[in-house]
């Protein structure tokens, strides 16, 4: 099996990145051995482009990156966008109107930057104070003079996604039920309390299929790893879908295999088993 895999698709947070938001030495060594065998490594993340850590951008041989849950695919070497599946401003305003009564943080992502109100920004920073993800949030957010609605009313260009941070899984479920009837939208489910609204015809799995067609790689020649609900379409689109040991239960149930957690070199263990033949 070691010679059959040509592309490895990796979620970042909770997968390649451990709880300290670092790539472990064993994971890095396994990725380097895979690259030496001619295997392409592609991060497929919910993060915007500006949120890709330098440690990921420095991976040897890195060429392609899928960001915002599939909304954008970039050729990093050629410096061009291969695919954009974004939400138009009118659809975003309809979504925001439908959920106006929810108490939650609202963000709109455009060109890899998350735009939000001052009140929501302060709440976001307080929520993640002292956590390893806070520097990433500070680097990828832009405080608006007003609300996200006013921002989209002033500037009607498309956005990559809307990101809603609720106070509980129950509130998130209620939010999704409220928004599901709206046309032209889809959902990504990265964390228990958070919901991302994306274009209805894209997700991590569809982004992987698109990239494979461009590269003339068969799905059965791919390995994908992830941990969150938004990773399940990715795992199911790959020839071998591996859930992390820290993945949510329904992702584990939908995967072909389960590896160790992100803090136990789970990526390296999967690569050693399915790619490197070790």
Long-range contacts of 29-32 (CB under 8 A, 24+ apart): 29/268, 30/267, 30/268, 30/271, 30/272, 30/276, 31/59, 31/60, 31/267, 31/271, 32/60
Residue 238 CB neighbour total at 10 angstroms = 28
Provide the pLDDT confidence category of residue 10 given band limits of 50, 70 and 90.
Answer: very high
Q: 64, 42 in Cβ contact below 8 A? A: yes
**CATH classification of 89-199, choosing from 1.10.1740.10, 3.20.20.70, 3.30.1240.10, 3.10.20.600?**
3.30.1240.10
Strand order in the sheet with 80-84: 64-67, 72-75, 80-84
Report domain extents, the chain. Answer: 7-84+202-274, 89-199
pLDDT at 32 exceeding the cut of 70 = yes
Provide the pLDDT confidence category of residue 139 given band limits of 50, 70 and 90.
Answer: confident
pTM over 0.85: yes
pLDDT at 1 exceeding the cut of 70 = no
| Cα-to-chain-centroid distance, residue 19 | 16
**CATH classification of 7-84+202-274, choosing from 3.40.50.1000, 3.30.70.1170, 3.40.50.2000, 3.30.460.20?**
3.40.50.1000
pLDDT at 2 exceeding the cut of 70 = no
| Dihedrals phi, psi of 76, to nearest 5 degrees | -70, -30
Instruction: Give the C-alpha separation, 194 to 63, whole Å.
Output: 29
Residue 55 CB neighbour total at 10 angstroms = 14
Condensed to tens digits (0 to 9), the pLDDT of residues 241-263 reads 999 999 999 999 999 999 999 99
Condensed to tens digits (0 to 9), the pLDDT of residues 146-183 reads 999 999 999 999 999 999 999 999 999 999 999 999 99
């Amino acid at each position: 099996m070691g010679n059959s895999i040509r592309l490895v698709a990796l979620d970042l947070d909770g997968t390649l990145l451990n709880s300290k938001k670092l790539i472990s030495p064993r994971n890095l060594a396994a990725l380097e051995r895979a690259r030496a065998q001619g295997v392409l490594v592609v991060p497929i993340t919910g993060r915007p482009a500006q949120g890709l850590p330098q440690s990921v951008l420095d991976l040897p041989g890195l060429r392609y990156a899928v960001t915002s849950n599939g909304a954008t695919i970039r050729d990093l070497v050629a410096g061009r966008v291969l695919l954009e599946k974004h939400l138009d401003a009118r659809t975003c305003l309809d979504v925001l109107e439908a959920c106006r009564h929810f108490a939650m943080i609202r963000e709109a992502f455009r060109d890899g930057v998350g735009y939000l109100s001052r009140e929501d920004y302060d709440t976001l920073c307080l929520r993640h104070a002292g956590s390893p993800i806070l520097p990433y949030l500070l680097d990828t957010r832009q405080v608006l003079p007003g609300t996200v609605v006013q921002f989209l009313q002033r500037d009607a260009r498309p956005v990559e996604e809307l990101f809603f941070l609720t106070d509980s899984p129950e509130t998130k479920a209620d939010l999704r039920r409220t928004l599901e009837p709206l046309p032209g939208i889809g959902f990504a489910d990265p964390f228990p309390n958070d919901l991302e609204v994306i274009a209805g015809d894209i997700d991590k799995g569809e982004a992987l299929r698109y990239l494979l067609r461009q590269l003339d790689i068969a799905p059965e020649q791919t390995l994908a790893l992830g941990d969150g609900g938004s990773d399940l379409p990715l795992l199911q689109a790959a020839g071998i879908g591996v859930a992390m040991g820290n993945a949510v239960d329904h992702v584990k149930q939908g995967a072909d295999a389960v590896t160790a957690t992100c803090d136990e070199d789970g990526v390296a263990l999967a690569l050693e088993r399915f790619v490197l033949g070790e």
